[in-house]
Structure 1
């Protein structure tokens, strides 16, 4: 996946922010924070993960499914993989 290699630094920075948000959520739960603070932190983590998913998915679609990107048989395989990933993610 060349698109994840070229954007590796930016993607890893996103993952590190998500890790920090998840750790903040853990601290909030351990510290018995107010429900609203916990809910807000959960929403922040979810938004960050959704943003990461959208960025990686967009890169994959542009590189593997764009016009004349690959042969038709490979395109079908890549499309099936994207659909499977989306179905899993949206459960």
Structure 2
């Protein structure tokens, strides 16, 4: 997985932020915070995980599925797939 090696530091930073968010959620549950605060934290974690998933998935598509000689049609098709994935992941 070359794309995860090239972007390793960036991906690890994202994972560490997610870890911090999960720890904040645990503290919120332990201290019996308001449901709204807990739900907001869960939504933030979900968004962060989806962002991480999209970054790794896009790298995979670009590096593995679209390898070979670039052509205008392939590049356009690749952008269409990535745009659809980004829309779906929101």
* Band of TM-score, shorter chain: 0.7 to 0.9
Structure 2 counterpart of 1:51: 51
Q: TM-score, normalised by structure 2?
A: 0.74
Q: Distance in 2 between matches of 1:57 and 1:23?
A: 26
For 1:8 and 1:67, the matched residues in 2 are separated by 20
Task: Provide TM-score, normalisation by structure 1.
Answer: 0.74
Aligned match of 1:68? 68
The two structures, once aligned, show a CA RMSD in angstroms of 1.5
Question: What 5-or-longer segments of structure 2 have no aligned partner?
Answer: 70-90
Q: 1:38 to 1:52 in 2, by over 3 A?
A: same
Specify the SS of the correspondent of 2:66: coil
Give the number of aligned pairs: 70
Report the Cα distance in structure 1 between the residues aligned to 2:61 and 2:40, rounded to whole angstroms: 31
Moved over 6 A (4+): none
Cα distance between partner residues in 2 of 1:33 and 1:16: 23
d(CA) in 1 for partners of 2:3, 2:35: 39
Task: Tell me which of the two structures has the higher relative contact order, counting C-alpha pairs closer than 8 angstroms and 6 or more residues apart.
Answer: 2
